[in-house]
Amino acid sequence: MSSELLVWINGELVPKSQAKVSVFDHGFLYGDGVFEGIRAYNGKVFMLDEHIDRLYESAKSICLVIPLEKEQMKKAILQTLKVNGLLNAYIRVVVSRGEGDLGLDPRKCLKPNIVIITDKIELFPDELYERGIEIVTVSVRRNSPQSLNPNLKSLNYLNNILAKIEATNAGKPEGLMLTLDGYVAEGTGENIFIVKRKELFTPPAYMGILKGITRQVVIELAKEMGYPTNETVLTLHDVYNADECFLTGTGAEIVPVVKVDGRIIGDGFPGTVTKSLIQRFRVYTQQVGVPIE
């Protein structure tokens, strides 16, 4: 194992301090590219096929041809984890348009750049999973799906970043984004669920949200556990009056929300449904996945 993390760049493993791409890369100049965040648990990569499929779908939608087959990409991810000796890790796969000129024309970019980074991640301290977090609705609205499809995980994340800045300035760890029409969309980097009488509700994809992979896992686990789950339009009124609320994401996993815009959710503590889903999800992440070896 190297003393310095190695980064996979276009087929080569290079030390983190030497991992570089050109300043003329359109990913840097214009945010022209796609990415995925993936997790490895106990030596297995969680939901790898689903993440790879979404990466290639995002790339296809922006006319970006990834110069690796899916199986080659998977092998590169596993290789990078193995060489860094990481059994539990966060994986960031980035495919940029590549080096071009200062114009917008992607045809000037002849070869995409592929970068695979493996490292640790902690979006929220452990104690917040025990006591829950407080979030605030931000004024930055989620991009309209008529302007930019939310299922494109592009390198331009400015919409989410501006919302995160607003939440941070308000002293809260996460912000809740609404649609242009004022309906509940998602967090700055997570999907949202509410629980009412032990029934789950989450905004449908057509509201302009990312169809999160962790979101889908939670929906499936909840159904297995006997919790009815509905994809339905939600308002802030619904959230304020929920029995429970939580966010889901690859990095965040499942994090309980106990206060929204100053309104206490339920009794102000993580609820029984949320806690049971967290426990079940953590077990599930240890049971499934593609082995690194």
Query: How would you class 193 by CB atoms within 10 Å of its CB: exposed for 0-12, middle for 13-18, buried for 19 or more?
Result: buried
**CB-based contacts of 138: which residues, under 8 Å, 6+ apart?**
163, 166, 167, 170, 175, 176, 177, 188
153 is an active site residue: yes
Q: Which of 153, 211, 223, 259 is catalytic?
A: 153
Check if the beta carbon of residue 167 is closer than 8 Å to that of residue 175. Answer: yes
CA distance 149 to 62: 11
- Residue 112 is given by DSSP the state -
CA distance 286 to 78: 17
Residue in this structure with the two tokens 């499809």, named with its chain if needed:
149
Provide the annotated active-site residues. Answer: 153
